[in-house]
Amino acid sequence: MQWAVLVHGGAGEWQPKDEAAAVGGTTAAVRTAADILAKSGTALDAVVAAVVALEDDPLFNAGTGAALNRDGDVEMDASVMCGHDLRCGAVAGLRRVRNPVLVAWHVMERTPHVMLAGEGALRFARGEGFADYDPLTQRARDAWLRKRASAYGTVGAVALDRHGRLAAATSTGGVTLKLPGRIGDSPIPGAGNYAHAAAACSATGHGELMMRLVAAKDLCDRVAHGEHPQAAAEALLREMAASVGAEAGFILLSRAGGLGVAHRTASMPHAWWREGDPAPSARVRC
């Protein structure tokens, strides 16, 4: 089976001056994941590595450079999920770590739980060896001040490996100036991040919408029932627009290697690479 990887850098109002950098960041993340997949690595390893790359780039609203809440603090959410066995791990409201997605991965691998939140998540992270880290480095603060007027969203990745296994990973700093303690869709399996044997999905945008509709699982199930990922993502956004609102975007990957990318925001930087393609492809909007 041929591998494939698809990543997004967040749906929202990207400023024109940042679009090239956003495309560069998502492309770099895809290259990192593709290197793993090309060496017959797992889809899980690939999506985690891709999201780590995006978390480390202060341009994106995840990890370093994540959005501030109303108290001026950074509270981050992240999750990972394996499609072949439905294992998943997540953290919510996590502070002062560099890569929340790695802590979520540790929750999945090292505990019997699915999600840890707040102070408990931080204590777990420290116990697992994650050092104290301020996501608002000076470079990140400068990037945040430039982008605070824009709704730059969550980051995520989905991948298919040569063994036919799918995985998804998603990470976010959440809504800019959110109420302290607010948790979005990204750490919730089925809402903002999901994978099963047929498909994998990562969502971005207004998280409350995805939670109400269990959007990521809905999309994966549509693919399992025979819809192409692109058609499924576009259909869900139309349905959302007619009901709860559609300030959202999705990336979706099927076990057959089909890609789905759709959003109803001004832009959503994304990149992808499938085995056999000479190089990754990337766009700012669909």
User: What's the rounded Cα separation, in Å, for the pair 29 and 13?
Assistant: 21
pTM of the entire predicted model? 0.95
Active site residue 154: yes
Instruction: Tell me the residue range of the domain where 146 lies.
Output: 4-64+137-176+188-283
How many structural domains is the chain composed of? 1
- Within a domain: 262: yes
What is the chain's pLDDT, residue by residue, as a tens digit (286 residues)? 999 999 999 998 888 888 999 999 999 999 999 999 999 999 999 999 999 999 999 999 999 989 889 898 999 999 999 999 999 999 999 999 999 999 999 999 999 999 999 999 999 999 999 999 999 865 556 665 655 544 457 999 999 999 999 999 999 999 988 999 999 999 999 999 999 999 999 999 999 999 999 999 999 999 999 999 999 999 999 999 999 999 999 999 999 999 999 999 999 999 999 999 999 999 999 8
- Within a domain: 193: yes
- Within a domain: 70: no
Domain CATH number, residue 220: 3.60.20.30
- Within a domain: 275: yes
- Within a domain: 10: yes
Which one of 27, 32, 42, 154 is the catalytic residue? 154
Q: Which residues pair with 90 in a beta bridge?
A: 79, 115
